[in-house]
Structure 1
Amino acid sequence: MSGHAGGGGRRRRGDHEEEHVNHERWLVSYSDMITVLMALFIVLFAISQVDQEKYIALRESLAAGFQDNTGTDSILDGTAGTLDGQSVVPQTSSQQGTAGMVDADMGLGQQGTTPSPSATSSDAPASGVDPEVLAAARAESAHLDEIRDAIQRHLDSAGLGDTVRFRVDERGLVLGLVADDVFFAAASADLTATARRVLDVAGPTLKGLGEDIAVEGHANVLPVSGRYATNWELSADRATRVLRHLVEEDGLAGDRIMAVGFGDERPLVKGSGAQALAANRRVDLVILSDAPETVRALLPALSKE
């Protein structure tokens, strides 16, 4: 009995020791994956650093390699492909048109109230400008000139030729209603009879345009009292009065026009002299160009040619 029990305690001949399970085998696959990802990102970083000359050389080398022994054209011929260092998806004229529509949509909120600081630059268009952009800018400048000339002719016919000052900035064509007490009395937003006549004369031309219009009210630095707490309210009311007249009396579509007041923060003439006080009491009508921003940037310089 005891011998049998002792024999049972021995490991039987032929039995194998239980195989040890490696619970960390997943680390090998994980490490391989990390290594591959690292190599991928290195390659992506490397190819993102475009060296045009090297890519052109590579393209020509590949083209020569694929050329068959008969001397026929390579399968890589016929296009420069994406190895020319240029954008894979160049901006086309249709894309520029889309950009223009986006600008026009934003015009009543951003373009209409934020002229670029370079808008008053007298420099001629840079020689390095894309010819297509320059051609589009010249065409847009000519279009704005036609609008200006049409309004000026109507004003001249009505004997009001000297009441509006025209200028062009990066937003478009600006009609400055500046003539001392001709449009607004001091500390007042009431339209004078002359102001109403000017708007009625310009109204039909403005109504027939496709561009949006921003009405910008301004005031001089003299403090106000009574009806208006500050020049902000005064300038905003002046712009609103002009907007309402154009919409209610001259039939301009309400979804094409906005009004904003700038107080005395954007003077046309610096200082507090008599000329500055008269010139800065004004309202500007801005015909917002719907051209792309790259085109509009050239308009101030072209208007001075």
Structure 2
Amino acid sequence: MTSARRAGGRGHEDAAHDEPDERWAVSYADMVTVLMCLFIVLYAVSVVDETKYDQLKNGLAAAFGQSQVEGGGDLTEGLVIPPELLDDDGVRDVAARAAQELDGLEKMRQQITDALASQGLQDTVDFVIDDRGLKIGLVGAETFFADNRADLSEKADRVLALIGDVLAASGNQISIEGHADHRAAVAPFESNWELSSGRATKVARYLVEQKSIAGTRVQAVGFSDQRPIVAGDSPEDLAANRRVDIVVLSGADEQVRSLIPGLVQAGTQS
């Protein structure tokens, strides 16, 4: 009986060893899948238009505060994956909304440009689109204000009337920001704070009172001489710093707005 049991036991063990172990197939399938994905990505990268890829890479790098990536070095350093390779719907959605927001700001800029050009006033303002929105710079304070005064000139009325028509049709919040050069203000202003604030307030009141823009959409801010755009004492430098900016604030969330400067930069390089 003992011999029979032992023989039966050995037969059961031999049968178990004869069955193939298929656990290796799972690991093998995973490895094949990874390799396939790798080759797909490598092929996709190889067919990307290099010029457009560089523009997008450097543009988005600027949006995230990175320097442009030059040739050489580690290819993965500073790499921005092109949209064709992104599968995340959230990333695509943010990029699409940023492009849409930029398009709206550019259309507003063009409307203002066309309106001013119709009256020969296109050289009285300049524009900047950034992560805040559309900044309309009133070029040369003397065009809009008398020296050391906050009262609007006749030309300022004409320019603001045309700008105000476009702004009234939008729903954006508007920030009017006054700046002064570094020279000390004289009477009736105690300092450049009062002078810059007074000019910003005059522009804000014009938009509210003459163009019926809701006061809840407008704010007036004076920065004195604390935010110069150029350094120097030449008449040109002083005039550049003595300015009023009308900023049409973007209503998009911060994540969307942070991409706008990069998109602007990529567009200027195309």
Show the counterpart of 1:202.
163
* Compared CA separation, residues 297 and 260, structure 1 to 2 (3 A): same
Answer yes or no: is 1:151 the counterpart of 2:112: yes
Answer yes or no: is 1:137 the counterpart of 2:101: no
What is the number of residues matched between the two proteins? Answer: 188
Please list the CA deviations of residues 55-98 of structure 1 after superposition, one character each: whole Å capped at 9, or x if unmatched.
xxxxxxxxxxxxxxxxxxxxxxxxxxxxxxxxxxxxxxxxxxxx
1:160 alignment partner AA: L
Structure 2 gap ranges (5+): 1-61, 69-77, 84-90
**In 2, distance between residues paired with 1:122 and 1:148?**
27
Q: Is the 8 A contact 1:122 1:301 kept in 2?
A: no
125-134 or 284-293: bigger deviation: 125-134
Please list the CA deviations of residues 269-301 of structure 1 after superposition, one character each: whole Å capped at 9, or x if unmatched.
222222220011111001010101011111122
- After superposition, residues 233-244 of structure 1 pair within 5 angstroms as 233-244=194-205
Q: Is the 8 A contact 1:171 1:289 kept in 2?
A: yes
**In 2, distance between residues paired with 1:183 and 1:269?**
20
User: Partner of 2:252: helix, strand, or coil?
Assistant: coil
Q: Is the 8 A contact 2:125 2:138 kept in 1?
A: yes
Show the counterpart of 1:212.
173
1:254 alignment partner AA: G
Answer yes or no: is 1:127 the counterpart of 2:80: yes
Please list the CA deviations of residues 7-28 of structure 1 after superposition, one character each: whole Å capped at 9, or x if unmatched.
xxxxxxxxxxxxxxxxxxxxxx
Please, which of 110, 126, 130 is the counterpart of residue 169 of structure 1? 130
Q: Is the 8 A contact 1:160 1:198 kept in 2?
A: yes
Q: Is the 8 A contact 1:218 1:264 kept in 2?
A: yes
191-200 or 271-280: bigger deviation: 271-280
Cα RMSD for the two superposed structures: 2.3
2:221 alignment partner AA: V
Show the counterpart of 1:290.
251
User: Partner of 1:269: helix, strand, or coil?
Assistant: coil
1:161 alignment partner AA: Q
Please, which of 210, 233, 236 is the counterpart of residue 275 of structure 1? 236
* Compared CA separation, residues 122 and 177, structure 1 to 2 (3 A): farther
* Compared CA separation, residues 177 and 123, structure 1 to 2 (3 A): farther
Shift of 1:166: 0.4
Structure exhibiting the larger radius of gyration computed from Cα positions = 1
**In 2, distance between residues paired with 1:122 and 1:278?**
33
* Compared CA separation, residues 206 and 126, structure 1 to 2 (3 A): farther
**In 2, distance between residues paired with 1:134 and 1:270?**
36
Structure 1 gap ranges (5+): 1-117
Identity %: 45
Shift of 1:123: 6.2
* Compared CA separation, residues 172 and 268, structure 1 to 2 (3 A): same
Q: Is the 8 A contact 1:183 1:282 kept in 2?
A: no
**In 1, distance between residues paired with 2:144 and 2:122?**
14
* Compared CA separation, residues 298 and 123, structure 1 to 2 (3 A): farther
Show the counterpart of 2:223.
262
Q: Is the 8 A contact 2:141 2:244 kept in 1?
A: no
Q: Is the 8 A contact 1:184 1:282 kept in 2?
A: no
Please list the CA deviations of residues 189-238 of structure 1 after superposition, one character each: whole Å capped at 9, or x if unmatched.
11111111110011111001011100001111111111111100100000
Show the counterpart of 2:22.
none
Show the counterpart of 1:37.
none
Shift of 1:122: 9.6
Show the counterpart of 2:74.
none
TM-score, normalised to structure 2, is: 0.65
Please, which of 203, 212, 223 is the counterpart of residue 184 of structure 2? 223
**In 2, distance between residues paired with 1:174 and 1:212?**
12
Shift of 1:131: 2.6
* Compared CA separation, residues 151 and 126, structure 1 to 2 (3 A): farther
**In 2, distance between residues paired with 1:246 and 1:300?**
28
Q: Is the 8 A contact 1:231 1:263 kept in 2?
A: yes
Shift of 1:169: 1.8
